[in-house]
Amino acid sequence: MVCQHCQKNPASFFYEENINGAVKKYALCPACLKELQNSGEFQDAVSQWYQQSAFPFALTDEGIFTSLFANQPKMMPHEVRCDVCGMRFSDIAKAGRVGCPHCYEAFREELTPTVNAIHGGRTHVGKLPESASESKKAKQKLTQLRKELEEAIKEENYEKAAVLRDQIRTMESGGE
Amino acid sequence: MSWYDHSGPEKDVFVSSRVRLARNLEDFPFEGKLSPEQAKEIIAAVRDAFPAGDAYKFIDMSKINDIEALSYYERHYISREFAVKKSPHALVLQDQTGLSLMICEEDHLRIQCLSGGLSLRECYKTVSETEAMLSRKLPFAFDEKWGYLTHCPTNLGTGMRVSVMMFLPAFTLLNRMEALSTQLQKVGLVIRGMGGEGSRASGSLYQISNQETMGITEDNTLRKVIDIVRQIAEQERKLRASFDKPMQIRLKDRAARAEGVLRHAEMVSSGECIPLYADLRLGLALGMSTDMDLVKLDKMIFEAMPATVSLQQSGRTDDKLPDEMQRDITRAQIIRKMITP
């Protein structure tokens, strides 16, 4: 990816900020980064360039997944990691593959354009696994119970809370 | 007995069929993030999910040597990556159904079935039943929107790849492969030449498979692939029948010569083996009179490959001969035994 300021050198600094929902992304070469930091007009200037050339997802080479990430930033200092395998989205972009099944949930938003590009925006219509649908239901139930527990505590309904807590414990330990 | 010892429908055009499902266990990371200990845990869990007894053969890939592993690859049981992989991985086989299940390949499980001729539905039945049996014991990673979660996002959805190996000498000789490839791409199928570039070297063998795995059911994928490859087979048969008399004689002559070499040569190299196979196979399709059958002939492309030949060779190596020469001698012996009634 080319530096968005000089349009010449390869960008090695990638930064994304989110202030009250206003997201700004930067991709700069070291020289331009320094120049902009010194000039004091860092934020506005960079965000302007960003808007002119967003990070596009492009299907350049059909079926080749990694190329979909060709324009993705290589490093973002603040990036979140998948809490199961520790992969960052930039690691996934580089490898062309996710680190664990949970990455699909952790980076759903980031992965959606790529998955849509590969699969034409369609969703699964094939068969469902018995085990997965059951464990999914269990997870949903657990989330529901935790919510109820929170409310019960808030309402100071400790009798109800105790029942809920026991139910949650039983489910967590694998029982019904 | 190996999967390719059984015949199947429409052998004149279809060498073999294969269906595979990619599945992963919810609580384990994918290859790359998977520790050797975790890989072993997966292998043990999958093994436990199979019924006890000897209906299935378990092979710990770390306990067999590279040549044996490559031989499984040459006989299409496993992928090349799986054959040369270093971290723990295992294979489950069931020869009478053609089931071959790779544990800790790119995905935790690659459940596949191989079978002769055009037999995709039979293959699917085997993999589907195996998958259902395993899914009762193993929690497969699944997402309502994206289906079965796989290491590579290209396999999301059904995780199903359906493919046939087709013998298309008429398409090849008449230079129709490029047009076919373009047509197939438009309908979401992919075609790849087997065994190298160039029409002669490839043996006119092609693998055709589906690309879509999302937004289409397993059944519709099967239906679509079967429908299209049947049409290709019809065209291939028509093209074969359209060869004029001189062409027919030339092709039959080539086939008879190939048969002569394969039946009588003292040495056969791996490079000449496939073109000779293709010449002879076309001769049979054109009605050449011979006592050979297609199952035995097809067996050649699986068992006359380098690693598989090397395995046969061990124990009877003549120390005075160079390795390669000895291998070509062994190959000639294997082929002779295979195709002589």
In this predicted structure, what is the pLDDT of residue A56? 30
In this predicted structure, what is the pLDDT of residue B318? 62
Pair A89, A79: CB distance under 8 Å? yes
At A168, give phi and psi (nearest 5°). Answer: -60, -45
The answer to whether the Cβ–Cβ distance between A95 and B32 falls below 8 Å is yes
In this predicted structure, what is the pLDDT of residue A20? 57
The answer to whether the Cβ–Cβ distance between B30 and A99 falls below 8 Å is yes
Average pLDDT over residues A13-27: 62
The answer to whether the Cβ–Cβ distance between B214 and A123 falls below 8 Å is yes
User: Helices (DSSP H) in A2-157: which residue ranges?
Assistant: 30-39, 42-52, 65-68, 89-95, 103-106, 108-119, 130-154
How close does chain B come to A57, measured CA to CA in Å? 15
Distance separating alpha carbons of residues B103 and B105, to the nearest angstrom: 6
Q: Which residues, listed in sequence order, are joined to residue B165 by a DSSP beta bridge?
A: B16, B207
In this predicted structure, what is the pLDDT of residue A45? 44
In this predicted structure, what is the pLDDT of residue A63? 33
Give the gyration radius of chain A's Cα atoms: 22
Pair A55, A71: CB distance under 8 Å? yes
pLDDT, tens digit (0-9, with 9 covering 90-100), for A107-124:
999 899 889 988 988 999
Strands (E), chain B: 14-23, 57-60, 90-94, 99-103, 109-116, 142-143, 147-148, 160-167, 189-193, 205-210
Low-confidence ranges of chain B (pLDDT < 70): 195-201, 314-319
In this predicted structure, what is the pLDDT of residue A16? 61
Interface subset of A 9-28, CB within 8 angstroms of B: none
Residue A175 has pLDDT above 60, yes or no: no
Mutation target among B106, B130, B135 for the A interface, most CBs of A within 10 A: B135
In this predicted structure, what is the pLDDT of residue A27? 73
Taking CA atoms, B5 is separated from A14, A166, B10, B70, in Å, by 58, 59, 15, 19
In this predicted structure, what is the pLDDT of residue A14? 65
Residue A168 has pLDDT above 50, yes or no: yes
The answer to whether the Cβ–Cβ distance between A124 and B151 falls below 8 Å is no
Interface subset of A 83-142, CB within 8 angstroms of B: 84-87, 95-101, 104-105, 111, 114-115, 118-120, 122-133, 135-136
pLDDT, tens digit (0-9, with 9 covering 90-100), for A62-74:
333 444 444 444 4
In this predicted structure, what is the pLDDT of residue B26? 92
Cβ-based contacts under 8 A for chains A and B: 115
pTM listed for this prediction: 0.76
pLDDT, tens digit (0-9, with 9 covering 90-100), for A54-104:
333 322 233 334 444 444 444 455 678 888 898 988 888 888 889 999 999
Q: Could you give the ipTM of this predicted complex?
A: 0.84
